[in-house]
Structure 1
C-alpha cells in the first residue's frame, strides 16, 4: 500500500472530515476525496460512511486505522534507533489513566522504575477510563492503566486484575470490623462518592437501583483526593474506591478497606492496555513488565 493514500486516510480518520484533513495536509478537499476514493477502489472496500456531519469509519476502516497507527509508530521507532535515540539510557514513556490511579499508585511505580533506569521520563495524561483506552488505541500513549467493563477494539489487554469496589472508612468506624458490606448497610452513614461518569458511581447506582435505594452522598467530587480526605478527617464518612488506588496510604492514615458483597460492585477489572499488534520500544517493555509486577502485588488479597 502506497504511503500517500494511507497518510490521507489517516488524517481523515483522525479528524472525521475531508475539509479538516485537507486543511491539515495543506491540499485541496478534492485531492483528499480523490485519494480516499482511489484507496477504497484499490481495496474493494468501503472505508468510510459519508454522513452529513463528516466521515465515519466502517469496520474495515477501523482495521486499517489500527494498521496506520501501528505503522506510524514503527516508523518513528526505526528512525529513533537509526539516530541512536532509542536506548535504555533516555526515552519518554507515555501513559494514560483515570484520576484514581494517578493519585498514588502510578506515580510511585514510575518513581521506583526511575531508580533502576534514571534516563526514563514519563508523560502522564489523567483522563476518564474510556478516554485512556482511546488514547492507547490511537497510539497517542504507550500504555493505559484503566478500569474497564467492556472490551475495546484495537486494544490489547496486557494484564487484567479483578478490582472490586471496596468501602474505605476510619478504623474506628462502627462497620470497620465487618467481613463485608452491602449498599444497604452503607445507606445508614454519610458517603463520599465520585460524580456520575466514573465506573465506581456507575456500579454503585446499579446496585442501589436493584435494592430500591436512593442515596444522596454527603460529599461528591471528581477528585479522589477530596473524597479520601473527607473520610480521613471524619469519624463516620465512608467512601468507595479500589484497593490499588489507596494501597500506599490507607494504613498510614489509620483507614481500613472493607470488601463490598453486592455482585454489581465486584464486576470491575483493572487493565493494563497497549495498542494491539504494536511492537513496543525496549524501555517501554521493561516498564510494562515492572508495572504489571507491582499491580499483581497490590491486587493480592490482604494487600
Structure 2
C-alpha cells in the first residue's frame, strides 16, 4: 500500500495534474486524488501548490519526491532479490501486436511492468492485424493484441474491448461533418493506407476488403506515427481504431468517424493467448495487467470524439 501511494505521488509530480497521472496509471482520477490527500493528511503538510493550470511541487513535496524515488528503487531491488530466492518474477514475455498499440498502450504497460518485474525480458513485435493470431497459434509469441473476429483453433481471447475501425481525418475535412462515413464517400478523397493487405479479412467485410484492394492510395506506410503526421498535415485520410489517437482526439487535433458498415462498427480489439498450453506465471501476470489497461482504454476511447 505504501509503495502504491508513493507511486501515485511520483506520477502526479511528474505530470503536474491528477487527471493526466490517472490516465498514465490507468486508475480513476478520484482514486489518485484521494491518495494524494491521504498522504498530505498523514504527513500534516501540503505537498503541492494548487495552480490554475495544474499542480506544482512545493518545498515539502520536493523533499518527499526525493525520498519516494529512493524508497521505490530500494523496494524494487529488495523484491528482485526475494523473487530470485523463490524463482519467480523472472522470465521472457513474447508479444505480437498491431502497430497502433505501440503508440502509447504497450510502451506504458511495459514501463509499468518493469517497475514490478525488473528481471523480466521481452520480445515485442509489431505486425499486421491478421498475422497476430497465427503467431500465437504457432508458438512464436505467447500474447497477441489485435482485432478479434474469427480466431483459429488453439487461440482464445481473454479480454475484449469495443474499439472499431473508423475514419481518421484532420479538423475541417469535409467528412468531419458526417455522423458516419460510407466507403463511397471515402473514395473521393486522398487515402493513406497502412498496408497493401486489408487490415481485416474479406470474410468479415468483403466490401471493405474490395475498397482496400481497389483504391489508389496517396501513400502506403506501415508506421502509425508516420501516418498520423501525414493526416495532421492534410495529406490524406486513413482508417484506424481510436487506440493510437486518444490524446489527438481529446485535443481536437484529429477527428474520428465510424464507417457505415456494421461489421466494422461492431469490431472488437482483444488480447489473445494460446488455449492449449499454460503460460508462465510472469506472462499471465502481464496479460492480467494488459487486460485492465484495455478496459481503461475502451472507456477513454468512448469519451474521445
Provide the rounded CA distance (Å) in 1 between the counterparts of 2:157 and 2:87. 24
Aligned to 1:206: 207
Secondary structure, aligned partner of 1:285: helix
Aligned to 2:167: 167
Provide the rounded CA distance (Å) in 1 between the counterparts of 2:199 and 2:160. 16
Residues 146 and 271 in structure 1, CA contact (< 8 A), matched pair in contact too: yes
Provide the rounded CA distance (Å) in 1 between the counterparts of 2:140 and 2:200. 26
State how 1:224-235 maps to structure 2 within 5 Å: 224-234=224-234
Aligned to 2:150: 150
Higher mean C-alpha deviation, range 125-134 or range 196-205: 196-205
Query: Per-residue displacement from partner, 1:153-187 (whole Å, max 9, x unpaired)?
Result: 11121122333211111123233243222222223
State how 1:120-135 maps to structure 2 within 5 Å: 120-135=120-135
Provide the rounded CA distance (Å) in 1 between the counterparts of 2:201 and 2:107. 24
**Given the alignment of the two structures, is residue 87 of structure 1 paired with residue 88 of structure 2, yes or no?**
yes
Aligned to 1:244: 243
Residues 128 and 199 in structure 2, CA contact (< 8 A), matched pair in contact too: no
Residues 91 and 120 in structure 1, CA contact (< 8 A), matched pair in contact too: yes
Aligned to 2:196: 196
Could you list the runs of 5+ residues in structure 2 that have no partner in the other structure? 1-83
Could you list the runs of 5+ residues in structure 1 that have no partner in the other structure? 1-82
Provide the rounded CA distance (Å) in 2 between the counterparts of 1:136 and 1:84. 31
Aligned to 1:102: 102
Aligned to 1:269: 268
Are the structure 2 counterparts of residues 137 and 255 from structure 1 closer, same or farther at C-alpha, using a change threshold of 3 Å?
same
Are the structure 2 counterparts of residues 199 and 229 from structure 1 closer, same or farther at C-alpha, using a change threshold of 3 Å?
same
Secondary structure, aligned partner of 1:299: helix
Residues 167 and 238 in structure 2, CA contact (< 8 A), matched pair in contact too: yes
**1:286: how far off?**
1.8
**1:248: how far off?**
4.4
Question: How many residue pairs align between the two structures?
Answer: 218
**1:110: how far off?**
1.6
TM-score normalised per structure 1: 0.62
Aligned to 1:281: 280
Are the structure 2 counterparts of residues 198 and 119 from structure 1 closer, same or farther at C-alpha, using a change threshold of 3 Å?
farther
Aligned to 2:75: none
Are the structure 2 counterparts of residues 85 and 218 from structure 1 closer, same or farther at C-alpha, using a change threshold of 3 Å?
farther
Higher mean C-alpha deviation, range 170-179 or range 159-168: 170-179
Provide the rounded CA distance (Å) in 1 between the counterparts of 2:201 and 2:238. 11
Are the structure 2 counterparts of residues 184 and 138 from structure 1 closer, same or farther at C-alpha, using a change threshold of 3 Å?
closer
Are the structure 2 counterparts of residues 141 and 209 from structure 1 closer, same or farther at C-alpha, using a change threshold of 3 Å?
closer
Provide the rounded CA distance (Å) in 2 between the counterparts of 1:196 and 1:128. 10
State how 1:42-57 maps to structure 2 within 5 Å: none
**Given the alignment of the two structures, is residue 302 of structure 1 paired with residue 287 of structure 2, yes or no?**
no
**1:293: how far off?**
1.0
Provide the rounded CA distance (Å) in 1 between the counterparts of 2:183 and 2:221. 19
Residues 160 and 270 in structure 2, CA contact (< 8 A), matched pair in contact too: yes
Provide the rounded CA distance (Å) in 1 between the counterparts of 2:119 and 2:219. 41
Provide the rounded CA distance (Å) in 1 between the counterparts of 2:87 and 2:250. 40
Give the root-mean-square deviation of aligned CA atoms.
Answer: 3.1
